[in-house]
Amino acid sequence: MKQNDIPYERQIFVCTNDCGGEKASCGDQRGLDVFRALRTLAKERGLHPRVRVAQATCLGQCSMGVNVMVFPDNIWYSHVGLDEIEIIADRYLTA
């Protein structure tokens, strides 16, 4: 095993998981679209790959989806809608 420094200035994890069945999940709330929109903005703003927007499977807060977690800021956004992507982008996807 080799220990390394994290190669990104910031990582934004967007849950895109679909739990299936009756259980609420981020996938039910358009998590994949939220992920794609944030990733697109990161690229458009020239931040990729310094800032990594990554899909996450379940983050353990399914009924609160779409869940977005931002590191190293240690911020968790829940109930994120597509109409709120710009707010997150303006906070964390800046040069």
Query: Shortest CA distance to 59 belongs to which of 86, 83, 82, 80?
Result: 80
69 near ligand FES, rule: CB under 6 A: no
**Number of chain positions touching ligand FES (CB under 6 A):** 12
Which regions of the chain does DSSP assign to beta strands (E)?
Answer: 10-15, 51-56, 68-71, 75-77
Smallest distance from the beta carbon of 46 to ligand FES, in angstroms? 29
- The DSSP symbol for 28 reads G
Contact call for residue 12 and ligand FES (CB under 6 A): no
Judged by the rule CB under 6 A, the positions of this chain that interact with ligand FES are 15, 17, 19, 25-26, 58-62, 65, 67
